[in-house]
Amino acid sequence: MVRGEIAPKKLYEDDRVLAFHDISPQAPVHFLVIPKSHIPTTNDVTKENADVLSHLFAVIPKLAKEQGIDQDGYRLVINCNRNALQTVFHIHVHVLGGRAFLWPPG
């Protein structure tokens, strides 16, 4: 998606992150936010690349407000490696909202 090989339904893009709607939404609002730089898993976050994730987390509340889920709340999900069901090895944050969620999630 970052390379433009797959055309997502974009919500936001700047020089460091891309946000787009999930192709198989699990909530009324479900989008992903990804860094443009390749970071495979949370295990690969370093001091050198952490700034892009900081920026990513600063973008999320703005998008949540635009999508109308900031006041009622939303869930952020990041899976790390196979047992957590990470299937795409490029860090991505799922942002889900528009309904009440249960706990525990797994």
Among the listed residues 38, 55, 92, 94, the single catalytic one is 92
d(CA 39, CA 13): 17
d(CA 39, CA 89): 8
92 counts as catalytic: yes
Nearest residue to 24 (alpha-carbon basis) of 47, 3, 4, 8: 8
Question: Which residues belong to the active site?
Answer: 92
